[in-house]
């Protein structure tokens, strides 16, 4: 139920803001607006404001909306009202009306990011866990427990890193844009050093978990403590208890939760997969674990269960591994918060455009396209995490909607702006015949994108 409510609220907000952008600028330009609708189909509720010509309504299908303006191309217009019709307006007014929808979505994102910046968020401190073996971070000389103070793309000026999420965003940008990232690490200003992560060599096409494993920075540093233990799982059967501090596994000394997860994960493998017994545990013997419980060392024999995940054999112990990370409050002042909101909106917009461009030329997977099912799923998950997480999700989708509508597809706002660009250059509007051809082509492309997105949704959620 939370997922459904969050999804409907998300769509309602984004659509209302987008259409209100069109409506507000149209009214400001002196255009008569006949109808403002959130949703399609039969209206479930309609109303009019006093002394206003516009009918406002909420449709049964909340998957879009529209603003219907007086227009000679759609219906006969009383000569006395011809000056109020959209098609009779000067080019600059028509451009402003069409661009106002996407602009409203982008402005909403700026304000949401700013609001979150002003309120403040609890985020993990930018302390690095042990890097994944063989990863870029390990080759760069990182070993874990380094505090990241500043970061920058190669050639740019170093900037403060306020949290691990801030660092993750910079790494995502660097990987997808093919740019190396410089990190200044160290707790003491006199002992800081700079390392270079060669992300330009990744050739990254997807921002998924595997990307961060290749980079080697998967999560923030945590103590190697056992958390909640699943009844009947490998940890429970081996005698592990919540609160146990793991000091050693076999001959490997454990320094943090990330390293412990890697050691457990690495217990599986092709060689051991062939020796799995009927109970799902490795047939070649358990691991020797040394843990600290209530201040006393304890030796346990732990037999992780081997699981198949994505074609690979990995190990699981049936327990939460790693203590919660150290958190910091990230908060900005009024001006800085607004500026950072604008910067984040700009960065997300550019990244979205680059990913779309890479998908068009085949450099990025079409699996990056997401549809309504994925949006609904993430809406519910973010809402369950609290207002801040939901607001950040709403801002991200608002940016995506704004950028998508600016694409030069005839059925989108960007397509109409493309027509107006032609008109500005040639001095004449696009002919009806070409308009019809372009509309048909745009619909075909949009339907293709929607089909791929829906297929990805089904594969991601039910595959």
> 296 Cβ partners below 8 Å, 6+ apart?
none
- Residue 111: closest CA among 370, 402, 368: 402
Residue 40's Cβ-count burial label (10 Å; 0-12, 13-18, 19+) is: middle
Q: Check the CA dihedral 292-293-299-302 and report its sign.
A: negative
Q: What is the number of residues in the chain?
A: 463
Q: Are 67 and 26 in contact (CB under 8 A)?
A: yes
Question: Is 72 labeled as catalytic in the residue annotation?
Answer: no
**DSSP secondary structure of 354-385:** HHHHHHHTTSS-GGG---HHHHHHHHHHHHHH
Residue 22: phi and psi, rounded to 5, are: -60, -50
H helix or E strand, kind and range, residue 45: strand 33-48
Residue 289 structure tokens = 């674990």
H helix or E strand, kind and range, residue 119: helix 91-119
Residue 415's Cβ-count burial label (10 Å; 0-12, 13-18, 19+) is: buried
Residue 234 structure tokens = 């490998």
* Integer CA distances (angstroms), 436 to 98, 405, 442, in order: 19, 19, 10
Q: How far apart are CA 202 and CA 198, in angstroms?
A: 8
Q: How far apart are CA 463 and CA 456, in angstroms?
A: 9
Residue 145 structure tokens = 């427990």
Q: How far apart are CA 393 and CA 195, in angstroms?
A: 32
The label of the residue with tokens 């299908």 reads: 61
Q: Output 6-10 pairs: Cβ under 8 A, ≥24 positions apart.
A: 6/376, 6/379, 6/380, 6/382, 6/383, 6/390, 7/372, 7/375, 7/376, 7/379, 7/380, 8/62, 9/379, 10/375, 10/379, 10/393, 10/394, 10/397
Catalytic residues: 19
């Amino acid at each position: 139920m939370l997922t459904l409510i969050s999804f409907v609220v998300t769509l309602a907000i984004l659509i209302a803001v987008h259409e209100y952008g069109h409506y507000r600028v149209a009214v400001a330009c002196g255009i008569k607006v006949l109808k403002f609708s959130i949703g399609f189909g039969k209206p479930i509720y309609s109303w009019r404001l006093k002394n206003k010509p516009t009918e406002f309504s909420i449709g049964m299908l909340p998957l879009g909306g529209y603003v219907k303006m007086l227009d000679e191309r759609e219906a006969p217009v009383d000569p006395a009202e011809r000056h109020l019709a959209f098609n009779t307006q000067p080019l600059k007014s028509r451009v402003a009306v069409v661009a106002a929808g996407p602009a409203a979505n982008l402005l909403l994102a700026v304000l949401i990011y700013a609001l979150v910046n002003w309120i403040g968020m609890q985020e993990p401190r930018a302390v690095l866990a042990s890097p994944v073996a063989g990863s870029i971070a390990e080759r760069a000389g990182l070993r874990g427990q380094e505090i990241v103070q500043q970061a920058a793309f190669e050639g740019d000026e170093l900037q403060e890193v306020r949290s691990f999420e801030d660092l993750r965003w910079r790494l995502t940008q660097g990987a997808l844009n093919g740019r190396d990232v410089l990190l200044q690490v160290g707790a003491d200003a006199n002992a800081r050093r700079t390392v270079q992560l060669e992300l330009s060599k990744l050739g990254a096409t997807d921002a998924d978990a595997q990307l961060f494993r290749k980079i080697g920075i998967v999560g923030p540093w945590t103590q190697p403590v056992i958390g909640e233990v699943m009844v009947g799982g490998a940890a429970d059967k081996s005698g592990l208890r919540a609160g146990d501090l793991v000091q050693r596994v076999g001959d490997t000394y454990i320094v943090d939760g990330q390293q412990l997860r890697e050691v457990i994960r690495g217990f599986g493998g092709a060689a051991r997969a062939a020796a799995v017994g009927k109970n799902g545990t490795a047939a070649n013997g358990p691991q020797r674990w040394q843990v600290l419980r209530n201040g006393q060392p304890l030796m346990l024999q732990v037999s992780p269960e081997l699981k198949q995940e994505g074609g690979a054999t990995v190990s699981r112990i049936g327990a939460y591994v790693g203590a919660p990370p150290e958190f910091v409050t990230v908060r900005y002042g009024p001006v800085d918060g607004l500026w950072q909101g604008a910067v984040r909106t700009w960065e997300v917009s550019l990244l979205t455009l680059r990913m779309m461009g890479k998908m068009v030329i085949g450099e990025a997977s079409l699996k990056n396209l997401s549809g309504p099912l994925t949006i609904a799923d993430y809406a519910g998950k973010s809402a369950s995490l609290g207002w801040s997480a939901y607001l950040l999700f709403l801002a991200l989708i608002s940016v995506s909607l704004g950028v998508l509508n600016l694409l030069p597809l005839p059925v989108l706002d960007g397509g109409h702006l493309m027509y107006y660009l032609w008109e500005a250059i040639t001095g004449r509007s696009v002919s009806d015949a070409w308009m019809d051809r372009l509309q048909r082509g745009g619909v075909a492309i949009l339907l293709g994108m929607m089909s791929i997105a829906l297929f990805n949704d089904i594969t991601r959620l039910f595959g």
